[in-house]
């Protein structure tokens, strides 16, 4: 790799979550590394240190933006650089939607505007500051406005000296054919399951079975794996809340019950509803386990552990009334009932039913 000629325009393309962006940045870091590099950047030289914070003066980024609540009136990529660096450092596998959520773009679409290609042309016309190369990473290159695309094409046809363009896209077909044909294609495949398991375990506190479970569902998409992990954590916290809720009701412990109710009360109505729906599912699963005594359950490991004891309290006699009470609470919350009153009432009634 070391002595190979560097192609001045390269197109990193691959499906969502495959990691085309982190790969492009790693390649840029390799090109700029001034340390002892062989197959990889050294990770220690001043250039590499700046890359870890994405603040190298010869590294430029273009990405789709639009007006947001905090940045009105035709903002440019540079206006969003702090947010961009934060997101990419947190999650280099971020999806377009993650970016839009991060900058609170709401329902608008982002765009790489015409003025961005003028701005990048100007930046690249100067001599590099520290590195041999000036590098422009264009993320979601298909979001370039037509005029921006044509101006980029001009740059690719007559590139400023010692400049490298790294285009990143999930949809290469949406780029101008003329741009595509100017770029060296670099295909980024989905991540192999073994690699994903290893990555999940080394970067997060997961045991082997959890990592295998998530890798199986994520199907090579690292962004999806991260989302699944978030959901998993949410499930865990919902189970904890459900346990507290039912226990306080069972023991008729108003003081500790109020704490749980206050926590739920502080959530949005949608989240309150989602907690109640989760509770209904837990009641149903535990009834299936207890009444039919089958192994046909859809619970995760923690839920299974919880159900060893909890399922003993769900019987043929209280299953229907419990289900009715939770459904009634959902109905009341949907109709803007006071959630504190609705939930406390539910907790006490459910507790009484469990004591039967
Ligand atoms: Zn280095």
- Give the span between the Cα atoms of 237 and 226, in whole angstroms: 17
Query: Cα dist. 21→63, 88, 188 in Å?
Result: 11, 9, 10
Question: Which residues are within 8 A (CB) of 132 and not within 5 positions of it... i.e. 6 or more apart?
Answer: 31, 32, 162
Tokens of 269: 């109505």
Torsion, Cα 346 246 287 334, to 10 degrees, reads 40
pLDDT tens-digit readout, 179-229: 999 999 999 999 999 999 999 999 888 888 889 989 988 999 999 999 888
Three-state DSSP state, 1: coil
pLDDT in tens, 141-171: 999 999 999 999 999 999 999 999 999 999 9
Please state whether beta strands 59-62 and 134-139 pair in parallel, antiparallel, or not at all (unpaired): parallel
Distance 37 CA to ligand 1 centre (A): 7
At 93-144, the pLDDT tens digits run: 999 999 999 999 877 899 999 999 999 999 999 999 999 999 999 999 999 9
* pLDDT value of position 257: 95
Question: Helices 339-355 and 269-291 sit at what angle, rounded to 10 degrees?
Answer: 10
Structure tokens at 87: 């997101």
Q: Contact 110/65 with Cβ under 8 angstroms?
A: yes
Look at residue 3 in the predicted model and tell me its pLDDT.
46
Mean pLDDT to the nearest integer, 5-17: 94
* Least confidently predicted of 5-14, 225-234, 284-293, 337-346: 284-293
In the reported structure, the alpha carbon of residue 29 is separated from the centroid of ligand 1 by a whole-number distance in angstroms of 7
Q: How far is it, in rounded angstroms, from Cα 318 to Cα 304?
A: 21
Q: Which of 183, 145, 203 is nearest to 20 (CA)?
A: 183
Given a contact cutoff of 8 angstroms between Cβ atoms, the answer to whether 117 and 18 are in contact is no
- Residue 293 has what pLDDT? 65
CA of 14 to the centre of ligand 1 (A): 26
- The length of the chain in residues reads 356
Say what percent of the chain tops pLDDT 70. 97
What is the whole-number distance in angstroms between the Cα of residue 48 and the centre of ligand 1?
4
Distance of CA 32 to the CA centre of its chain: 29
Res 100: pLDDT: 94
CA 47 to ligand 1 centroid distance, Å: 6
Q: Would the pLDDT of 318 be above 70? A: yes
- For residue 2, report the distance from its CA to the centre of ligand 1, in Å: 13
Tell me, in angstroms, the distance from the centre of ligand 1 to residue 166's CA. 19
pLDDT for 234 equals: 84
The pLDDT > 90 percentage for the chain reads 79
- Residue 295, pLDDT score: 60
Q: What is the pLDDT of residues 61-103, one digit of tens each?
A: 999 999 988 887 899 999 999 999 999 999 999 999 999 999 9
How far, in Å, from the CA of 184 to the mean position of ligand 1? 24
Instruction: Please state, rounded to an integer, the average pLDDT across all residues of the chain.
Output: 92
Which residues are bridge partners to 112 per DSSP? 144
| pLDDT higher than threshold 90 for residue 177 | yes
Buried b (16+ CB within 10 A) or exposed e, 19-29: bbbbbbbebbb
- Residue 327, token pair as written in the block: 């459904």
CA–centroid distance, residue 3 to ligand 1 (Å): 16
Range list of β-strands (E), 144-291: 163-169, 184-187
Rounded Cα distance, 112 and 60, in Å: 14
């Amino acid at each position: 790799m070391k002595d190979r000629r560097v192609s001045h325009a390269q197109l990193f393309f691959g499906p969502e979550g495959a990691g085309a962006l982190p790969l492009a940045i790693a390649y840029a870091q390799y090109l700029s590394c001034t340390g002892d590099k062989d197959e990889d950047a050294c990770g220690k030289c001043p250039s590499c240190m700046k890359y870890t914070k994405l603040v190298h003066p010869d590294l430029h980024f273009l990405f789709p933006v639009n007006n947001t609540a905090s940045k009105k009136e035709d903002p440019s990529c540079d206006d969003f650089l702090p947010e961009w660096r934060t997101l990419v450092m947190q999650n280099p596998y971020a999806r377009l939607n993650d970016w839009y959520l991060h900058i609170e773009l709401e329902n608008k679409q982002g765009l790489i505007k015409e003025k961005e290609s003028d701005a990048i042309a100007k930046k690249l016309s100067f001599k590099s500051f520290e590195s041999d190369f000036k590098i422009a990473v264009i993320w979601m290159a298909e979001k370039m406005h037509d005029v921006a695309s044509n101006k980029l094409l001009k740059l690719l046809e007559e590139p400023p000296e010692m400049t490298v363009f790294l285009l990143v896209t999930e949809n290469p077909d949406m780029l101008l054919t003329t741009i595509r044909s100017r770029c060296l294609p670099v295909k980024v495949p989905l991540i192999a399951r073994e690699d994903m398991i290893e990555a999940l375990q080394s970067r997060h506190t997961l045991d082997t079975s959890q990592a295998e479970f998530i890798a199986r569902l994520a199907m090579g998409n690292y962004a999806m794996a991260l989302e699944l992990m978030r959901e998993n954590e949410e499930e865990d916290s919902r189970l904890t809340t459900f346990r507290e809720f039912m226990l306080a009701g069972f023991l008729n412990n108003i003081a500790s019950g109020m704490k749980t109710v206050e926590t739920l009360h502080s959530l949005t109505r949608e989240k309150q509803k989602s907690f109640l729906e989760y509770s209904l599912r837990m009641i149903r699963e535990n009834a299936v386990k207890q009444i039919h005594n089958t192994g046909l359950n859809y619970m995760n490991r923690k839920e299974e552990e919880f159900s060893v004891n909890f399922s003993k309290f769900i019987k043929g006699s209280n299953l229907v009334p419990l289900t009715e009470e939770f459904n009634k609470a959902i109905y009341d919350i949907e109709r803007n009932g006071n959630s504190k009153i609705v939930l406390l009432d539910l907790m006490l009634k459910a507790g009484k039913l469990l004591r039967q």
